[in-house]
Amino acid sequence: MGSKNKLKRFAENETFSNVIQPTRDEILKGFEFKGKWNSFFKNENPIVLELGCGKGEYTVGLAKLNPNRNYIGIDIKGARFWRGAKTSIEENMNNVAFVRTQIELVDQLFEKDEVSEIWITFPDPQIKYKRTKHRMTNEVFLKKYQKILKPNGIMHLKTDSEFMHGYTLGLLHGLNYEVIYANHDVYKNEGSPQEVLKIQTFYENQYLEKGKPITYIQFRITN
């Protein structure tokens, strides 16, 4: 993407009512919507997150399937989620928002028990050992998610990475967390939820064209 396009998208994001772009300091000193997200959406509907939302396909797709839930996509790359933000505004979707920030700050954006579900879609698997701390399903991140999820809150991991799938399953079993459902090839093996099969991201389509299996895990971070 050219720098002119990026700048245009950044500028347009500034005008979108469904895009929030706080500074790191603003988040750490007390984010304005922490514990008050239902006032942002003007309803008491459940809140669902997509972390590392990219172009926002899952955030928007889930919001269309479930209009009685509020969806928030979080990503540091605003030029990417511009597409999802623009689409949801054009289609008058009032249950979609995007936040531009680092995923590591997620527990500063939401109050305890404020979130009902979290989706992680096609994250960078960070395969090298020294990158373990950046894996979005490592133990440190799981503790952050647990902090903001409701007691029976559900996590979803959809990935093309067999490494990420196996690493996460092993970690969940080791920590004695509840694995509700796991599938190492969702389009070949039956049983995956419709939300997993109906929505396909830009990157997912590329992986499918290469014949890569798409994996999925649904779990709870409770003992």
Which residues carry out catalysis? 124
CB atoms within 10 A of CB 116: 17
